[in-house]
Amino acid sequence: MFTREKRAKILESYENKEEKILISNILDKAFRFDKENKVIYTNFLNLHELDLANRVLNELKVSFSIYSPNEYCNKKVIFFIPDYIENSDQIYNDAISCLKIIPNIKNKLIHKDYMGGIYSLGIKNEMIGDIFAYDEHAYVFCMKSVTSYLITNLYKVGNQEVKLEEMDLKDKEILDISVNLVKKEYIIPSLRIDAILSEVYNLSRMQTKEKILKGDLFLNDRNMFYPHVQVKENDIVSFKKCGKMKVGKTVRKTKSDNFVIEIYKFT
């Protein structure tokens, strides 16, 4: 099924260095799974990385599953699980943790504070999943291999002392994690990303274009430098120093041929 020639041919189609490294790693895991027939999994993959991995694995016709700890998580893990294993829940629990971070003072920390505290410990991005911050606490999903390190070393976030508790992935508290999305309809001349960003964040088209060319735009976790890119429903858009949003459905077209589109802003 797998050959070195096939692996080389797949890698030839990727010019981007980071993408080539990712695909090489995915192929190595798929090859190991095919040879050893035991549980193998990746670290956390963002939306763009998942898309790349999906395409390659489907091309190879490899059996795999994508695990998300919660329906609102964007970062997920690919598992290769042999057919002889019937219950995957324990496998997921053995690979992934959820840590509840509780500060000593409520209402003082925000998402970027928790993210800064975690990454200041030198942990690689791929080891950390989604971070959900609330007024009283935060949740961080991480690979099991860094759980003890985080519990031992993350004792302060910002200027607040914190304590960490490991949660079971099947705990109702974890399953009930959600994000606050504010829906609003916008009238835009086209489905180009620059047109939508200009309207949503009240920027001129020139300001929007300059920010995109500077590298401020991420579409489904992929750094995007093209103002003319068309968006589609369920795309996740992050725009530095402006915000994050999810593209909803196109409701209708106006008499002047503009689009009425739903946008869900993360708050």
3-state SS of 208-234?
HHHHHHHCCEEECCEECCCCCCECCCC
- Measured between alpha carbons, how far is 71 from 103 in angstroms, rounded to an integer? 25
Q: How far is CA 160 from the centre of its chain?
A: 27
Asked if residues 80 and 39 have their Cβ atoms less than 8 Å apart, the reply is yes
The pLDDT assigned to 107 comes to 80
DSSP letter for 235, please.
-
Residues 6+ apart with CB under 8 A from 133: 109, 110, 111, 113, 114
Q: How many helices (H) and strands (E) does the chain have?
A: 9, 14
Q: Which residues contact 221 (CB under 8 A, 6 or more apart)?
A: 46, 47, 48, 49, 74, 236, 238
pLDDT at site 145: 97
Cα–Cα dist 115/186, whole Å:
31
Please report the pLDDT score of residue 108 as a whole number. 82
Phi, psi of 206, deg, nearest 5: -70, -45
pLDDT at 131: 96
Quick check: 262 and 232 in contact, CB under 8 A?
Answer: no
CA distances 222 to 26, 52, 145, 151, 238, Å, are 18, 11, 26, 31, 10
Query: What is residue 2's predicted lDDT score, i.e. its pLDDT?
Result: 67
The first and second tokens of residue 258, run together, are: 């503009």
Residues of the chain with pLDDT under 70: 1-2
